[in-house]
């Protein structure tokens, strides 16, 4: 799903979106044919700010949510601001205890997650290479 939004970079008000609102039935079928599964009533929540999209889903026990963040071709400092806006808005809407993600060990991914406020919690030894487990909590 391509993240689209206006060019007003000062607009950091994330909004929740639903793929069925963004895509036609044929578009969803095409995604599903490509291996992407989208079910109505799916526990995943999609949030967008500018060209950045966050996909959140329950993490297996109460209070834990997982996230995967996708960004456009924006400047890194703009991406950090959008990531923070998405995380804070989701936090305020769902009131989780903790948000986790995993990232590849690339310099850019490590830098973006640290600048956003994620803390490393562990390492996953994957066959394709290690992935870093990171967690985020809104400071009160």
Please, what sign has the CA dihedral across residues 55, 45, 30, 71? negative
pLDDT per position as a tens digit, 13-71: 777 766 666 667 676 666 656 555 555 557 888 888 888 889 999 998 899 999 999 88
Binned at pLDDT 50, 70 and 90, residue 132 comes out as very high
84-126, pLDDT tens digit by residue? 999 999 999 999 999 999 998 888 889 999 999 999 999 999 9
CATH 3.40.50.880 fits 15-136, yes or no: no
pLDDT of residue 77: 78
Residue pair 76/107 in contact by the 8 Å Cβ criterion: no
Return d(Cα 128, Cα 37) in angstroms, integer: 23
d(CA 103, CA 19): 24
pLDDT for residue 74: 72
Find the mean pLDDT for residues 72-90: 87
Q: What is the dihedral of CA 103, 106, 108, 111, to 10 degrees?
A: 70
Cβ atoms of 52 and 68 closer than 8 Å: no
Q: Say whether pLDDT at 1 is over 50.
A: no
Residue 13's alpha-carbon distances to 47, 69, 73, in angstroms, are 10, 16, 19
With cut-offs at 50, 70 and 90, classify the pLDDT of residue 127. very high
Domain boundaries in the chain? Answer: 15-136
Instruction: Give the residue from 84, 73, 75 showing the smallest Cα distance to 13.
Output: 84
d(CA 24, CA 13): 25
The whole-number pLDDT of residue 106 equals 87
């Amino acid at each position: 799903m391509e993240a689209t939004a206006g060019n007003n970079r000062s607009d950091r008000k994330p909004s929740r979106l639903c793929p069925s609102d963004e895509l036609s039935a044929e578009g969803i079928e095409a995604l599903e044919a490509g291996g992407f599964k989208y079910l109505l009533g799916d526990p995943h929540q999609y949030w967008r700010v500018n060209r950045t999209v966050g996909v959140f889903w329950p993490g297996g026990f109460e209070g834990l949510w997982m996230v995967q963040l996708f960004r456009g071709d924006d400047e890194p400092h703009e991406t950090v601001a959008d990531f923070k806006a998405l995380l804070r808005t989701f936090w305020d809407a769902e009131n989780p205890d903790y948000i986790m993600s995993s990232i590849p060990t690339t310099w850019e991914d490590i830098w973006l997650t640290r600048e956003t406020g994620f803390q490393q919690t562990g390492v996953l030894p994957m066959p394709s290479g290690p992935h870093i487990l990171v967690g985020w909590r809104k400071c009160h």
